[in-house]
Amino acid sequence: MKIYDLSPEISEEMIVYKDKAEKKPKIKAARTLKEGSNESRIELDSHTGSHVDAPYHMLENGKTIEKIPLEKFMGKCIVLDFTKIKNSITKNNIKNSEIKIKKNGIVLLKTKNKSERSFNQNFTYLDKSGAEYLVSKKIKAVGIDSLGIERNQPEHETHKILLRNNIPIFEGLDLSKVNQGRYFFHGLPLKIRKGDASPVRAVLIME
């Protein structure tokens, strides 16, 4: 069994969306060994690093993260390689992939994004047609290796199409060490009451 770690480190220096300072984590010691044990207090955005968006992120009556069945966050998964695409991933790009999408599977979109060392406004994203196509294939979750699955689309169409169909969106995954192929995915969210999203430790497992 081989485990691929898809999560970047959480630290005060990590890359955050649009490089906004207020989105960076803050980590401080709450106790030290002198007092008997090391303990820390962590402050972070629900959308930090590798994380998963719940429907409530974009939809007023959308499900919050703790209400989503855990089956959605684990299971058979395909990684599709779109590293040659510069702008956006479309329906046709996905349709023309060598690996076919199965109903109830998890689909991860590998792009050129992860070669960046700071936030890149021009990250490759999933366009509306691609989101609609994934919905039509009845996938259960989707993921991408940028900190957003779309850029500044004014109506957040990609998010809304997916979230309206209760498809959780994993963002901020590190897919740089993973090739296109079939795997088993695990990326369980913290059970945050009324959460719009949660940081996750995400892995791919190859038996």
Binding residues (CB under 8 A) for a copy of itself: these are 3, 5, 7-11, 22-23, 27, 30, 33, 36-47, 49, 56-58, 60, 66, 70-71, 74, 156, 159, 186, 188-193, 195-197, 199-201, 203
Kindly tell me which of 57 and 110 has the beta carbon lying closer to a copy of itself.
Answer: 57
Structure tokens at 142: 């989707």
Q: Residue 133 in 3-state DSSP?
A: helix
Cβ 164 to a copy of itself shortest distance, Å:
14
Residue matched to tokens 């700071």: 118
Closer Cβ to a copy of itself, 33 or 84, answer by number = 33
- For residue 7, the minimal CB distance to a copy of itself (Å) is 5
Residue among 64 and 83 whose Cβ is closer to a copy of itself: 64
- Please identify which residue in the block is written with the tokens 């991860």: 108
State the pairing for strand pair 141-144/106-110: parallel
Of 95, 110, 122, 125, residue with least CA distance to 176: 110
Cβ of residue 198: shortest distance to a copy of itself, in angstroms? Answer: 8
Of 10 and 85, nearer to a copy of itself (C-beta) is 10
Distance CA 143, CA 162 (A): 11
